[in-house]
């Protein structure tokens, strides 16, 4: 009788401990989000040789590649904002203040 009581108490304590621990369940991403993020990542970090992933990527490192994909998935398929994007605007010295197109001499 006393052995059964000890086993029941231990079992009850085990169940209570399992319920008290925080539930860490990972949410699975959808295939749609994964495909969209994969396409965005491939566009942001294109391969050096098309069709050969072993050749490496043109810009950034593989860690940048993984971080971009993970941030995209975390944003629900929206591209993450890039802090160090290159701007293609001309510098102040190259700006032509004339509103007309340059004329060619013939």
Domain ranges (residues) in the chain: 27-81
| pLDDT tens track for 63-85 | 999 999 999 999 999 988 865 54
| pLDDT tens track for 17-47 | 766 777 666 678 899 999 999 999 999 999 8
Report the predicted TM-score, pTM, of the whole model to 2 decimal places: 0.51
The CA distance from 16 to 8, in Å, is: 12
Q: Tokens in use for 75? A: 């944003």
For the chain, strand residue ranges (E) read 47-49, 52-57
Specify whether the backbone of 51 is left (phi greater than 0), alpha (psi in -120 to 50) or beta: left
């Amino acid at each position: 009788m006393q052995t059964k009581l000890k086993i029941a108490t231990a079992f009850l304590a085990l169940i209570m401990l399992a319920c008290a621990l925080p539930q860490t369940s990972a949410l699975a991403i959808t295939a749609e989000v994964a495909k969209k993020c994969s396409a965005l990542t491939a566009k942001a970090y294109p391969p050096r040789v098309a069709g050969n992933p072993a050749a490496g990527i043109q810009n950034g490192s593989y860690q940048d590649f993984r971080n971009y994909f993970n941030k995209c998935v975390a944003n629900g398929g929206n591209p993450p904002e890039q802090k160090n994007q290159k701007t293609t605007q001309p510098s102040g010295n190259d700006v032509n203040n004339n509103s007309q197109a340059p004329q060619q001499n013939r």
